[in-house]
A and B are shown apart, each in its own frame.
Chain A
Amino acid sequence: MVRFRFPLLIALGLFVAGLALTSALKDRHYMLLSLVLLAVALLPLFIRLERRPLESRELVLLAVLSAVAAVSRIPFAALPSVKPVSAIVILSAYVFGAEAGFIIGAVAALVSNIYFGQGPWTPWQMFAWGMVGLTAGWLRNTWWMKKKGGMLAFGFVWGFLFGWIMNIWYLISLPDAFSWGLVAAAYASSFYLDLAHALSNVFFLAVLAGGWTKVLKRFRKKYGLLQE
């Protein structure tokens, strides 16, 4: 069994992907296909995490940052879209790079949902927060990201993008009603929640940016973590 684990997993994955494709093409039922595509989107960076040379210190660092991001969500549970997670993921990615940012975002989503309830939205959140970290890490060397205003703008934009990604998962359950009207209606109905998320991102980034990047950069230098 142990020796055939990878071939078995790959075969199983292909089987499910085939079912999803058939279902999408034949019945125009896209739910399974969307889950398969999400898994495919999450896979490369997790495979990279498994394969790249990684110190145990770096692994523990990733775990701490994911856990801090997950914990930060708990005091704000009563406010629906105020999530400091995005801000913490952006800051961590800013210091430690794109791959680390993706992993921190995805793991934070997975772990915090153990307290908030897992659901079909979990992979979507993993993807969305992973992308927050990934893009923040890619753009960390641009001149505007180094300025505080640029980072705040980045957080604001991601507040909306996050909501838009999360809207997709229930839009795809209505393939026949899909029209620009429906998209507009869905996005208009989530506008205030997205705005709240965007504004809270700006707020948390503004408060955390200076102090946290300093602390994280110091740790990075002191222990030589994720230097690339």
Chain B
Amino acid sequence: MSSGFRAMHPSVALLYYAGLLLFATLLFHPLFLATEIAGLTLLLVLQGQGRQLLRALPFFLLMAVSVAVLNPLFSHRGAHILFYFMDQPVTLEAVLYGLMMMAVLLTVFILFISYSYTVTTDKFMYLFAGAAPRTTLLTLMALRFVPLFQRRLRQITMIQRIRGVDAGKGSVRSRMRDGMTLLKVLLTWSLEEALQTADSMKARGYGVRKRSVYGIYRLDLQDKAILLLLAASGLIPLFFWMKGYGVLEIYPRMKPMHFGWADAAMYAGFCLFVLTPPALEGKEKWLWRSSRRSVYPSAIPRKTGTRFMSSHLR
């Protein structure tokens, strides 16, 4: 289902995720990182990707926790010594720094899950088709070949089995040999066929002139408004970051956290940036729910017993 934030123009989504990646790597502050994780999780859950997140989480946690554990073991700076581990001091600062790094890594991991759901590769390529037409074409062709080759390999396996070439039976040596035969057939077949495709492309005039770009996504009014909103709200935290806010100093000695007006303004801008897409997604969910209620205040008279499908793109 394509709706809400996912149905917006790719440039909006790309700006959002680029901004989030930037903030995750720049704003080294627990409050900001926690807000970002919360915002992204909310977006994922609203988009129905919670299960996806849960499935990937153990692997992410393993990686992030190992960073949190490694830091205090190898870094001994800091003023507050908690205890000694194998004659080496374990400091409060090092533990906190490790935890913060863990949060940064987790943020980036979750960000990529959400990113690959929202900005599918074809959307990413659409954005860069003008700047790098060959790379785009190459990647999209490779992308399309992957399922094709898998299908083809299955066909080859079935056909070769009748000839007695079977990678699933026999001694290890013969299975290996047969497996390689199958792969070689796949390679030869695919190359031969792909080169025909290339000739056909050439016959149709590929490479004669500069490649034109066909835009399937249109930047409409809402897209423009959200783009502007994200850009404006994203610049606020960046501006304050350059002035030195939004970074918690842990080494060599932890500074007390204080939260002044500047921090509040920065945080507000940051929240606006992070929470705009979840809000859009939530609005969509709410509209959908209320459209199914019988008391929905609509000018269109609703017939009972029939189902309405909205057919317009968004």
- Footprint of B on A, CB under 8 Å? 2, 5-6, 9, 16, 19-20, 22-23, 27, 29, 31-32, 35, 46, 49-50, 54-57, 59-64, 66-68, 70-72, 74, 103, 107-108, 110-112, 114-115, 117-120, 170, 173-174, 176-179, 181-182, 185-186, 207-208, 211-212, 215, 219, 223
Task: Tell me if A's interface is mostly helix, strand, loop or mixed.
Answer: helix
A223 to B195, CA, bound (A): 9
- B75's nearest neighbour on chain A, judged by CB, is A177
**Least distance between B81 CB and chain A CB atoms (Å):** 16
Please list 18 pairs of residues, one from A and one from B, whose beta carbons are closer than 8 Å in the complex, sorted by A's number: A5-B131, A31-B108, A50-B135, A54-B134, A55-B207, A57-B202, A60-B201, A63-B137, A63-B142, A67-B190, A72-B183, A108-B142, A118-B115, A173-B104, A177-B70, A177-B73, A182-B74, A215-B187
A119 to B24, CA, bound (A): 14
Chain B residues in 8 Å Cβ range of A110: 139
B41-93 CB contacts (< 8 Å) to partner A: 56, 63, 66-67, 70-75, 77
B186 within 8 A of A: yes
Q: Which one of B146-154, B275-283, B290-298, B306-314 contacts A? A: B146-154
B299 within 8 A of A: no
Chain A residues in 8 Å Cβ range of B187: 68, 212, 215
B131-177 CB contacts (< 8 Å) to partner A: 131-135, 137-139, 141-143, 145-146, 149-150, 153, 176
- Known A-B contacts A31-B104, A115-B146, A211-B184; the reply to A176 vs B141 at CB < 8 A is no
- A34's nearest neighbour on chain B, judged by CB, is B25
Return the CB mask of B182-205 against A: 1 if under 8 Å, else 0: 011011101100110111011000
- Known A-B contacts A60-B197, A66-B138; the reply to A32 vs B22 at CB < 8 A is yes
Would you call B146 and A71 a contact (CB within 8 A)? yes
- Known A-B contacts A49-B134, A71-B149, A181-B74; the reply to A176 vs B25 at CB < 8 A is no
Would you call B194 and A63 a contact (CB within 8 A)? yes
B247 within 8 A of A: yes
Chain B residues in 8 Å Cβ range of A46: 132, 135
- Known A-B contacts A56-B206, A179-B74; the reply to A74 vs B141 at CB < 8 A is no
A66 to B150, CA, bound (A): 14
- How many chain B residues touch A (CB < 8 A): the figure is 67
B264 within 8 A of A: no
- Footprint of A on B, CB under 8 Å? 22, 25-26, 28, 56, 63, 66-67, 70-75, 77, 94, 97-98, 101, 104-105, 108-109, 112-113, 115-116, 121, 130-135, 137-139, 141-143, 145-146, 149-150, 153, 176, 180, 183-184, 186-188, 190-191, 194-195, 197-199, 201-202, 206-207, 238, 242, 247, 251
Would you call A63 and B141 a contact (CB within 8 A)? yes
**Least distance between A29 CB and chain B CB atoms (Å):** 6
A46 to B238, CA, bound (A): 30
Chain B residues in 8 Å Cβ range of A67: 141-143, 145-146, 149, 190
- A12's nearest neighbour on chain B, judged by CB, is B18
Would you call B112 and A119 a contact (CB within 8 A)? yes
A137 to B62, CA, bound (A): 37
- Known A-B contacts A19-B22, A176-B75; the reply to A111 vs B194 at CB < 8 A is no
**Least distance between A41 CB and chain B CB atoms (Å):** 15
Would you call A59 and B139 a contact (CB within 8 A)? no
Would you call B74 and A185 a contact (CB within 8 A)? yes
